[in-house]
Amino acid sequence: MAEISGNLTDNEIVSLVMEGDRKAFSTLVKRHQKPLLRVAYRFVKDLDAAEDVVQESFIKAYERLSSFEARSTFKSWLFQICVNTAKNKLRDRMDDMSDIEDVPLAVNAQAEASLVHNAVSQLIQTHVDQLPFKQKTALVMRIYEDMSFKEIAEVMDCPYDTAKANYRHALMRLKDELSSNKDLAQWTQEMNTFFTEINRRVAEVES
């Protein structure tokens, strides 16, 4: 098979795969594996488990490719598979979650730095992890993956307004819980910056 051009869209590559060029799917894997790993890790909190989620997600996507109807973007469809796979992984090992220690994420997530200062990011991440699953999904997709609400709605398989509402509820819940967290009181300047950012994002979603 000829080498796949990097200028081809996801949908064009999907068409090639469906026409028999199975190797073309590797281009989709290379294109999306890093952001998928970031997302998977944010849910399962373990790098090995996240890699398993990503591998399983690509296998499922390949096996179900004939069901992809391009009504959403391939990226949104793929992320939906990844989120659901991560959710199932969490359900399978929920009893062991308290024993898992955080490990550094091996993939850059530059968007994270715009939300919180490094000094308090871990404490804030703890609260993010405690959000209801739908709220966390909306927050992760919007903040860390910079997805539009249309894309988030496609990933979550819900109406556009529901995606926005879950994102807004996540922001407000974080603001309420973190404003009363005594462990963060020592970082007044950083937290003021964080709350300013929260207020900006709430105003953005309400506009």
Domain boundary among 58, 76, 100: 100
Domain boundary among 82, 100, 118: 100
CA angle, 41 then 42 then 47, to 5°: 20
Q: How far apart are CA 160 and CA 12, in angstroms?
A: 26
Please say if the pLDDT value at position 174 is more than 90.
no
Q: How far apart are CA 204 and CA 207, in angstroms?
A: 5
Are 115 and 66 contained in the same domain? Answer: no
CB 142 within 8 Å of CB 88: no
Are 20 and 94 contained in the same domain? Answer: yes
Q: Which residue has the higher pLDDT, 44 or 4?
A: 44
Q: How far apart are CA 90 and CA 97, in angstroms?
A: 8
127-171: per-residue pLDDT in tens? Answer: 888 899 999 999 999 988 889 999 999 999 999 999 999 999 999
Residue 166 lies in a domain: yes
Collapsing DSSP to helix, strand or coil, 107 comes out as coil
Q: What DSSP character marks residue 7? A: T
Residue 117 amino acid letter: H
Residue 127 has what pLDDT? 83
Are 56 and 115 contained in the same domain? Answer: no
Are 78 and 121 contained in the same domain? Answer: no
Residue 105 has what pLDDT? 34
Are 123 and 75 contained in the same domain? Answer: no
Q: Which of 207, 198, 126 is nearest to 169 (CA)?
A: 198
Please give the residue range of the domain that contains residue 61: 7-100
Q: How far apart are CA 136 and CA 141, in angstroms?
A: 8
Sorting pLDDT into bands at 50, 70 and 90, what band is 190?
A: low
Domain boundary among 46, 71, 100: 100
Provide the number of structural domains found in the chain: 2
9-37: per-residue pLDDT in tens? Answer: 999 999 999 999 988 999 999 999 999 99
Residue 93 has what pLDDT? 66
Sorting pLDDT into bands at 50, 70 and 90, what band is 188?
A: low
